[in-house]
Amino acid sequence: MKNKIIVLSVIMAFVAFTSCKKEVSSNSGKVQTETYERKELSSEFDTTIDSLIAQMTIEEKIGMLHGNSMFTSGGVERLGIPELKMVDGPLGIREEISRNSWASAGLDYDFATYYPAAGSVAATWNPELSYTFGNSVGQEARARGKDMLLSPAINIVRTPLGGRTYEYFTEDPFLNKKLAVPFIVGVQDNDVMACVKHFAANNQETNRGTVDVLMDERTLREIYLPAFKAAVTEAHAYAIMGAYNKFRGEYLCENDYMLNKVLRDEWGFKGVVVSDWAAVHSTVKSLENGLDIEMGTPKPFNEFFLADKLILAAKEGKISENEIDKHVKRILRVLFQVKAMGDQDRVKGSIATEAHYQDAYKIAAEAIVLLKNDNNALPLKLDGVKSIAVIGNNATKKNALGGFGAGVKTKREVTPLEGLKNRLPESIKINYAEGYLERYDEKNKGKLGDITLNGPLSIDQLDPAKLQEAIEAAKNSDMAIVFAGSNRDYETEASDRRNLKLPFGQEELIKRVLEVNARTIVVIIAGAPFDIEEIGEKTDALVWSWFNGSEGGNALADVLLGKVNPSGKLPWTMPKKLEDSPAHATNSFPGDETVTYSEGILVGYRWFDTKNIEPLYPFGYGLSYTNFEFSDLKTDRESYNATDVIEVTFTLKNSGAVDGKEVTQLYISDPESQVEKAAQELKGFKKVFVKSGASENVTILLPAKELAYYDEVNKEWLVEPGIYNIKIGNSSRAIKAEVSITLN
C-alpha cells in the first residue's frame, strides 16, 4: 500500500557556470554523458546593456519590441544595435521573404538544404541525429546572416488529423524532450537562437487563432509541457514563441500564468518571448504578461499592438518605462549572446553544402519505418528482374515547398523515382506511371490559409487514362512499387485533415495494381497517420517514408535495396480508425470556442494501452531486415530512493543475417498507484547498433525522479513509493522482458 509520498524538490536550472555537459550516474558508478555542451544565457554584458538602454529614447526602445519587417524586429542604428533577424524553420532555412509582405523576395541565392521534417527526426529515435540537424541548420542560418531560427516545433501530436503533425516530433512527452534538447543545443552552438514553438497547448489548426484550450493541470504538466520545460532548463533555449490559441481563457501571448509564472518564475527562462505571426491581441496586457516581441503579418508595422499604441500607453503612464526596459534588456542580452553585438567572433556558417546534404541523408535513412515485410519481400531481390513499375504521383512529388507552412527553396530534392534511378543497375528498366492525380475540389478548397475549418477536400475518383497507364506498367514489369500517401499541400499548417482516408483514389489504385502484379510493394510518403489497414493486408511489404528532405529519395532507395537496414520507429500511434484515438473517442476534437482535452493524460499510446485498444501500428513500432533478441534484463538493485538513478541492463542479440540498429525502449508501469496512471509510459530508450550474430550489453540509466507524477493539489512532482515494473521491448506493444523494483 502506498500511503506515504516522497516529495521531490523542484530543481531549477540555476548553476554557476555558463556551459555544461549533462551527466547522469548510477550508484554503481555507471555514467551516461551527453556529448554536447549547453550554454546558458550570460549576464556578462549587462553593464553595457544598461548603458545602451540609458541612451535610448522611448521610441527607440519600443521599436525593438515589434516587427519592422516580416522577419525582423527593430534595431537602433545610431547605437550599433542591429535588427534581430529571424527565419523559419522546421524544414530548413526558408527562402527570403519580402520585407513588407509574404511574397518571395525574388532572390537567386537563397537556396538551402531541405532537411527531413521533425516527424522523420522523431522516427530515428536518435538524439544525436537531432543534434546533427540542429547544428547543420544552425550553420545555414548563420550563412544567411540570421540571429534566430523559428524552430524546433515541439507541440504534442494529440490528434492524428493535425495539419502540422509532420512538423512536430511525437505524441510522447519523454521522446519529445529527448529530441528537443539536442536540437536546440545544436542550433545555439552556432550563435543562433532557437525559438522553440508554439508555447503551448497548440495541438490543432482548427480555430487555432481563437480556440480556448482547457485541460487539467496534471495533463498540462505531464504531457504538454515537459519538452518546453527541458528546452528551457536543460537546453537553455534563448527564445520561445507564444502560440495563437488561448489557454484557460487568455491568449498565449498575453497569458500571465504561462509566460510569467510557469516559464519565467518556475523554470527560470531568461530569454525572449516572440509572438507567433499576428498572435497578439493587446498592448499593455501582452507586455506585462510576458511577451517581448510582437511579430506579424501585413499591416503597417507601426499599427502593431507593441508599436505606436505602446508609445501612447507609455506617454499616458499606462505602462512604466521600467517595464519597457525589462523587455529591451532581454532582447539585448540574446543579441549579445549570439554575438550579433559586442565585436565578438561569430560563426560564419555554410549553406547547401554537400556535408549538409549528407546530414539530411543520415536523418532520412534512419527515419524510414518498415511496417510490414512478409515473405522477405524486402530488400528487393533483383535476380532475374528486368523491369520495375514505379507508380504514383508521390514517386515524383516534391515536398520542400507546399501548403501553407514554411518550406525551403532547394536545389536538391531527390524524389523516390530519382533515388531508384540513381541506385538501381542500369540494366533494370523503370516503367513509371503517375497513377493518380493530386486533385482538389476547388469549390470547397478555398484559398490556402482559408481552409482552417474544412481541411483539404480531395477528388478521389481516379482518372481512367492514368489508371490504365498504371495497370499496363504493372502488367509489363517484373514487379511494382506504388508510391502513395499524402504531400505537403494535403498536410498543411492552418488546416487539420477531415479524415484518415488516403486521398486522390490511391487505395483503389493500389488494389488495381495488385490485381495485375502480385509482386507489388507499397511505400507511403506522409507525415501523419493514415488508414492503411486494407493496403497493409493486401501487400507483402509496406514502407513508411516521410517528407524526408533533400536526400529522401536516395535514402529510400538504399532501404528498399538493402544498403541501409531500416531502423525507424513510429513516433506516434497509427490507429485502426479515428474513433479509437483519444481526442476522438472522447469526442473532444476540435471543439468550438473552447476545446477540452477530456482524455487528460491518456494521450497517444497511453490511451490505447490503458483502454486495451488494438492500434493498427503501435507507438515505437518498426521492423528491421534482421532479428533482435532481448535477454538478461536486470537492475543494479531491487530497491531505490526517489533521488537514485536506476541502472537497467540487458543483452541485445542480433540473431539475423545482417547488421542493424534497434531502438530499445524502456516503459514503466505503476500497477499500485493511488492516482490514475497510464498502463505504461516511455521512460528511456537507446538506439543500438549490433553486428549480425553479435550481442551487445545495453545500459539505460533511469533517474527515479522520471517516475514522478504531478500532484495538482500540492503542485509538486511526486514519486509514489511501491512496486514499479520496468519493461524492455522494441515497441509499446512488443515488450520482451520485465522486472520489478521497489521505490522506498
Q: Which three cell numbers stand for residue 725?
A: 515494473
Between 155 and 665, CB nearer to ligand BGC: 155
Would you say how long the chain is, in residues?
744
Whether residue 438 contacts residue 393, with contact meaning beta carbons closer than 8 Å, is answered with yes
276 is catalytic: yes
Closest CA to 646 of 705, 585, 701: 701
Binding site for ligand BGC (CB under 6 A): 88-89, 150, 197, 276-277, 406
Where do we find the cell 493514415? 530
Closest CA to 365 of 178, 527, 560, 522: 560
Q: Minimum Å distance from CB 295 to ligand BGC? A: 7
Q: Minimum Å distance from CB 300 to ligand BGC? A: 18
Q: Minimum Å distance from CB 132 to ligand BGC? A: 22
Rounded (5°) CA angle 590-596-598: 105
Between 171 and 493, CB nearer to ligand BGC: 493
Q: Minimum Å distance from CB 277 to ligand BGC? A: 4
Between 197 and 686, CB nearer to ligand BGC: 197
Between 149 and 668, CB nearer to ligand BGC: 149
Rounded (5°) CA angle 231-233-237: 45
Q: Which three cell numbers stand for residue 461?
A: 475518383
Phi, psi of 257 (to 5 degrees): -60, -50
d(CA 465, CA 376): 33
Between 495 and 624, CB nearer to ligand BGC: 495
Beta strands in 207-357 (DSSP E): 212-214, 239-242, 246-247, 250-251, 272-275
Full strand arrangement of the beta sheet holding 369-373: 369-373, 541-545, 520-525, 479-485, 387-391, 429-433
Q: List Cβ neighbours of 243 (8 Å cut-off, separation of 6 or more).
A: 197, 198, 199, 200, 201, 202, 208, 252, 253, 276, 279
Per-residue burial over 441-459, b if 16 or more Cβ lie within 10 Å, else e, is: eeeebbebeebbeebbbbb
Q: Which three cell numbers stand for residue 559?
A: 532501404
Between 224 and 357, CB nearer to ligand BGC: 224
Q: Which three cell numbers stand for residue 181?
A: 534538447
Whether residue 369 contacts residue 566, with contact meaning beta carbons closer than 8 Å, is answered with yes
Between 202 and 669, CB nearer to ligand BGC: 202
Question: Residue 285, SS3?
Answer: helix
Q: Minimum Å distance from CB 297 to ligand BGC? A: 8
Between 402 and 536, CB nearer to ligand BGC: 402
Q: List Cβ neighbours of 629 (8 Å cut-off, separation of 6 or more).
A: 652, 653, 655, 736
Q: Minimum Å distance from CB 276 to ligand BGC? A: 5
Q: Minimum Å distance from CB 94 to ligand BGC? A: 7
Considering Cα of 277, then 281, then 284, then 289, what sign does the dihedral take?
A: negative
Q: Which position among 172, 276, 531, 644 bears the catalytic label?
A: 276
Query: Could you give the residue numbers annotated as active site?
Result: 276
